[in-house]
């Protein structure tokens, strides 16, 4: 089972990729971390180091755990550095053409029995698998953000995914100490099928003037006991990602209830994507976040 996965390749050293590398290394897997530039890999490694330091401060891991884990992560500047990996997980931006290009480029470098996975939060696993040379060894392994803290991983089989790939992936996720929810391959799977329309509805509530940013977030934090208000959460996820997932739901299910709110589109057009660009439904450029509406 997970015994035959010893080395993991991670494509993308951003928020999701460095989190996945982090948990894999702590679980004892050797990790090859790839991105489009050495600089991005360096930033990803620095983030992992910082996040592990925080775990030490909270007594989640020891200094020795961190040292051992960091030694297991190596930079992979090119795809051929992933040649020995037993499992390769793609964590690129939520755009299907970008993911397809990565898969067609990386496949030629992988050993024949390597499993290929996507961390997509919404795109059809069956369609992505069809752009590879190994649809039966392709699977969706969707981690939640932030990866080191979140307990859940969604496992999604494409129509061609074979049982061995599914069982091996299941055992691998178990070894990371995560809990699995198995989802059918329908747009946005389980978590985002429920979560993103809620966020989109919160944006409509703002758009229609039912409440301002602060009142909407306070209402859901204190009235529904959500740890974070939906607009604050949208900023954390990234408004571009929220829009991409809503678009996948709208296109894939052709139901008007999934229509992305025009205000969400407007924010993305403005480049106000949330925390990562310092502005979204809140402005993060000052000492504390200030609502932008």
Active-site residues, by number, are: 121, 142, 154, 192
DSSP conformation letters of 262-280 = HHHHHHHHTT--BGGGTBS
At residue 153, the 3 state secondary structure works out as strand
Residue with tokens 């390749």: 9
First to last CA, the chain: 51
Whether residue 11 contacts residue 106, with contact meaning beta carbons closer than 8 Å, is answered with yes
Antiparallel, parallel or unpaired: β 115-118 and 73-76: unpaired
3 state SS of 174: helix
DSSP 70-112: HHHEEEE-SGGGGTT-SEEEE---S-HHHHHHHHHHHHTTS-T
The residue with tokens 């509805």 is 201
| Six token digits for residue 151 | 């307990």
* Residue 33 dihedral angles phi and psi, to the nearest 5°: -105, 120
**207-212: long-range contacts (C-beta < 8 A, 24 or more apart)?**
207/261, 207/262, 207/263, 212/291, 212/293
């Amino acid at each position: 089972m997970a015994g035959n996965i010893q080395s993991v390749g991670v494509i993308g050293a951003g928020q999701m990729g460095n989190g996945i590398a982090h948990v894999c290394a702590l679980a004892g897997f050797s990790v090859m971390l790839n991105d489009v530039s050495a600089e991005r890999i360096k930033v990803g490694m620095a983030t992992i180091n910082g996040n592990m330091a925080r775990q030490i401060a909270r007594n989640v891991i020891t200094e020795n755990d961190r040292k051992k884990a960091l030694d297991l992560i190596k930079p992979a500047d090119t795809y051929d550095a992933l040649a020995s990996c037993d499992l390769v997980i793609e964590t690129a931006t939520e755009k299907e053409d970008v993911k397809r290009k990565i898969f067609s480029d990386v496949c030629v470098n992988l050993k024949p029995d390597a499993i290929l996975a996507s961390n997509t939060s919404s795109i059809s696993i069956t369609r992505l698998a069809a752009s590879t040379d190994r649809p039966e060894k392709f699977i969706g392994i969707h981690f939640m953000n932030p990866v080191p803290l979140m307990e859940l991983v969604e496992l999604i089989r494409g129509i061609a995914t074979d049982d061995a790939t599914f069982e091996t992936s299941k055992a691998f996720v178990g070894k990371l100490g995560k809990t699995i929810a198995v989802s059918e391959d329908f747009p946005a799977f389980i978590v985002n099928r429920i979560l993103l329309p809620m966020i989109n509805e919160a944006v409509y509530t703002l758009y229609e003037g039912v409440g301002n940013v602060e009142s909407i977030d306070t209402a859901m934090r204190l009235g529904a006991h959500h740890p974070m208000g939906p607009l604050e959460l949208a900023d954390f996820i990234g408004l571009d990602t929220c829009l991409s997932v809503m678009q996948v739901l709208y296109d894939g299910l052709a139901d008007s209830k999934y229509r992305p709110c025009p205000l969400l589109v407007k924010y993305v057009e403005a480049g106000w994507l949330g925390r990562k660009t310092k502005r979204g439904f809140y402005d993060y450029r000052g000492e504390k976040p200030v609502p932008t509406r």
